[in-house]
Structure 1
Amino acid sequence: MQVTTGAIAGTYLVINDSTAGFQSSNDLLMNITGFTGTLPALGSIPVGNFFV
């Protein structure tokens, strides 16, 4: 997700627990502004790709 205005401008990765809608207690929002490299395609992303 790209945010273009304000103090929170940047690029974010949202990982959802497959329940519709964002729920801060179950879903993850990560600021990846400045990340270099290739992100996995949309779909299931193995936890090991981001958390080692």
Structure 2
Amino acid sequence: MVLRTYVTSGLLTQILADYQAPSREMHLLYSPNRYPTQKLRCFIDAVMAEYG
């Protein structure tokens, strides 16, 4: 989690700890007429690994 260090250090206070936000679909769009660059391919792979 991005904010975990701030919560554990006490800089942020967690509220609604039992609340789970609804999941959303995510779309990654890029130009279909171009071969994806290595940077873009790495980004897509990282997003897919993190969020499935």
Please give the range of the TM-score, normalised by the shorter of the 2 chains: under 0.3
Per the normalisation by structure 1, the TM-score is 0.20
Per the normalisation by structure 2, the TM-score is 0.20
Higher Cα Rg, which structure: 2
More relative contact order in 1 or in 2 (CA 8 Å, sep 6+)?
A: 1
More helix by share: 2
More strand by share: 1
